[in-house]
Amino acid sequence: MEVNILCIGAGYVGGPGMAVLAQKCPHCRVTVVDIDAKRIAAWNSDSLPIYEPGLEEIVLQTRGRNLFFSTAIERGIRENDIIFVSVNAPTKTFGVGAGMAADLHYWEKTARQILKHSQSPKIVIEKSTLPVKTALAMERILKGVGSGINFEVLSNPEFMAEGTAIKDLEYPERVLIGSRETESGLKARDTLVEIYLTWVPREKILTSNIWSSELSKLVANAFLAQRISSINAISALCEKTEADVGEVAKAVGMDSRIGPKFLQASVGFGGSCFKKDILNLVYLCRHYSLEEVAAYWESVVRINEYQQERFILNMLQAMFNTLSGKKICLLGFAFKANTGDTRESPAIFIARRLLEEKAEIVISDPHALTNARCDMEGVEGRISYEGNPYDALRGCHAIAVLTEWEQYRSLDFQNIFEGMVKPAFIFDGRNILDHQRCFDIGFNVYPVGKPPLTHF
Ligand code: UDX
Ligand code: UDX
């Protein structure tokens, strides 16, 4: 039996998620719709709107077979009984909760659209990360007017990370499905479980009540971000005490109760999720008058901001307290390696702060220059963009490594050093370079959370 599936929102979650679903379930006909016609056109072209290793191959295999990209949202709603919703819910920029709460107006609009165009029962699945109780608002909109059509709302948060999205989607550590514990709620849940069982082992499919599912996603992201802020906080202490944060992380992480992952000190975490989701959690806690809990989680975001500002202060101090007129190359602009995504990338903050200090910046990245240009649009200052790192670095005073692209490890730093202004500096915001070697070549090297190697 063919299963007809719709996904509203063709972004970083909807696009790869549905491509893998279509690949794994040839018996499903998957349509992905979006209000953004340009994005849909890109999904239908040779140049996909997002860069993600392995994605293109899957889209080429499935597109036109059982995967379709379209702008026909209303028809999509009419013709499909299972509807994933992965439209974005950014942080509110206005009114009550500005800068903290999730802006749910796309969600509400989508719920109303589903209600208006449905002629048969639907299972509506929240795929995006949302505040707890969003499903209740969805239900109230869908069921409130007594249309006579049955709607079941499920929560099925997506845990994949960018850069490894395809692997995460093909072999998920868990798939979480939250539902109402009513007869129709459980039936809808089982329908979705059946779809995942096509490629996910049963023991990895977790079911829960709908609020636990919504909250688990926020909490998972908050815990991950908290580990990064914890190690970054310690990196500041390491810089004062000659301890090495890499050695500390290794020693700490070998305790199986703690584990080694997500302890990589850095210039700070970025991405569309961590900050937004923690602020969401903080807002929820405040809403329920849990001030201490809110303050605890808010500190994770504060440490992340502190870490980025500290990076700038370290640069300033090392470069004789002035960056004015100096040319600095940002090696990497994406928020992490293997993606072209720059949302909330620490590089945006660093770039702006360097320009405030009147430095000239050269931005280099293998996949994120188009997004970098958008991010920096309208920002005053001397900015240039250069894909080739060797060209980018010629004539620079300093290198700031902001993304952990694998190819940066094996650059010819001898050659680079020769083309730079002396004294030449490296600020390794990801601790990926061979610091001793760079120092031996002649660079003054400033890692995160380790003693600097300088020739002064
Ligand atoms: C991200 C996060 O990953 C997710 O967890 C969070 O909850 C929302 O933001 P992502 O897929 O990365 O999701 O977002 P984005 O790439 O912005 O995609 C959302 C898509 O929805 C966009 O293409 C946008 O045009 C579309 N959209 C938005 C609609 O189709 N209809 C709307 O009403 C609003
Ligand atoms: C995150 C979650 O990992 C994923 O489960 C969820 O579905 C969406 O949010 P993502 O933001 O795509 O995924 O990437 P992630 O690998 O978590 O990295 C987030 C940021 O933290 C990046 O800027 C990364 O460079 C940084 N990071 C990560 C560190 O600074 N140190 C680390 O040890 C790990």
pLDDT tens per residue, range 224-234: 999 999 999 99
Q: Is 6 in the pocket of ligand 1 (CB under 6 A)?
A: no
Query: What SS3 class is residue 369?
Result: helix
**Chain mean position to CA 107:** 20
- The pLDDT of residue 102 is 87
Ligand 2 center–CA 391 separation, angstroms: 29
Smallest CA separation from ligand 2 atom 15, residue: 161
CA of 221 to the centre of ligand 2 (A): 8
Cβ neighbours of 142 (radius 10 Å): 21
Q: How far is Cα 341 from Cα 22, in angstroms, rounded to an integer? A: 24
Q: Which of 132-141, 256-265, 306-315, 388-397 has the lowest mean pLDDT?
A: 132-141
Return the ligand 2 atom nearest residue 160 CA: 7
CA atoms of 85 and 311, how far apart (whole Å): 38
Q: Is the predicted pLDDT of residue 257 greater than 80, yes or no? A: yes
pLDDT in tens, 125-184: 999 888 888 889 899 999 887 878 999 999 999 999 999 999 999 999 999 999 999 999
Cross-strand partners of 398: 328, 425
Would the pTM of this model clear 0.85, i.e. be above it? Answer: yes
pLDDT digits (tens, 9 = 90+) for 64-100: 999 999 999 999 999 999 999 999 988 888 999 889 8
Q: To the nearest whole percent, how much of the chain has pLDDT over 70? A: 100
Mean pLDDT of the 408-432 span: 98
Ligand 1 near 58 CB (within 6 A): no
Indicate if 285 belongs to the active site.
Answer: no
- Rg of the Cα atoms in the chain: 24
> Could you tell which of 126, 217, 224, 406 is best to mutate to test the pocket of ligand 2, judged by most ligand atoms within 8 Å of the CB?
224
Q: Which residue has the higher pLDDT, 449 or 128?
A: 449
Tens digits of residue pLDDT in 316-341:
999 999 999 999 999 999 999 999 99
| Average pLDDT of the residues in 425-454 | 98
Ligand 1 binding pocket includes 35 (Cβ within 6 Å): yes
Residue-averaged pLDDT of the chain: 96
> DSSP secondary-structure letter at 87?
-
pLDDT confidence of residue 165: 97
Q: Is residue 351 within 6 Å of ligand 2 at its C-beta?
A: no
Q: What pLDDT does residue 249 have? A: 98
| Residue 1, pLDDT score | 65
Q: Which helix or strand (DSSP H or E) is residue 30 part of? A: strand 28-33
pLDDT, tens only, 242-255? 999 999 999 999 99
